Amino acid sequence: MKKKTLIILKKTNFNIGQKGELLKVSKGYAFNYLIPQNIADLATSGRLKHFQTLKKVREEKLQVSKIKANTILLNLQSIKKISIYKKSSDKQQIFGRVQEKEIINEILSYTGYQFDKKQINIPDIKSNGSYVVNINVLNTTKTNINLNIIPEINQTNI
């Protein structure tokens, strides 16, 4: 009968499991490979207590970030549309491109929350019109906002 030992993973390993996971593996595998390669630690009573405390803190932080993401999501859903003025040609083609920074500034003026560039996914915009912008509030929380590209009125032509 093989004896198993309890370990705590220090690193994510695709064959074994995720970082911080508690596993039972054979003693030879633990003492000859996982512990010398610094992939896992032996699960002593002190380390188990520390592991449980860290797990509890991570869960609390996740709950707080979910609550914050839900409030941000409610603020974003109150925005009907965002309008951005761009210079355009006679054929309604815009000059340049719509950047994430412009959308971030518009959202900041409406909600007061500063998004990161990586959280916003803009479609390829080449002409005036309406588009849908995807916003990733949290890894699991996503929303869409309507974006209107309006031609900029040039004062010299009037």
Check residue 95 and give its pLDDT.
87
Give the model confidence (pLDDT) of 5-35 as tens digits.
999 998 888 888 888 889 999 999 999 999 9
What residue spans in the chain does CATH classification 3.10.430.100 cover?
A: 73-151
CATH of 4-43, one of 3.50.50.60, 3.40.5.10, 3.20.20.70, 3.40.50.300: 3.40.5.10
Residues 6+ apart with CB under 8 A from 142: 134, 135, 136
pLDDT tens for each residue of 111-153: 888 888 998 998 888 888 899 999 988 877 888 999 999 888 7
Name the nearest CA neighbour of 113 among 154, 145, 84.
Answer: 145
Fold (topology level) of 73-151: Ribosomal Protein L9; domain 2 (3.10.430)
pLDDT in tens, 36-64: 999 999 999 999 899 889 889 989 998 99
Which sign, positive or negative, has the C-alpha torsion 64, 67, 73, 76?
negative
pLDDT at 25: 92
Residues of the chain with CATH 3.40.5.10: 4-43
The per-residue pLDDT for 88 is 87
Strands across the sheet containing 81-86? 81-86, 142-151, 129-136, 120-121
* Mean pLDDT, residues 73-83 taken together: 87
Its pTM stands at 0.63
Q: What is the model's pLDDT at position 42?
A: 92
Mean pLDDT for the chain overall: 87
Going by pLDDT thresholds of 50, 70 and 90, the confidence category of residue 155 is low
pLDDT at 148: 92
Q: What share of the chain has pLDDT > 70, as a percent? A: 96
Contact (CB, 8 A) for 138 and 105? no
Q: Residue 124 and residue 76: Cα distance in Å, rounded?
A: 22
H-run or E-run covering 26: strand 22-26
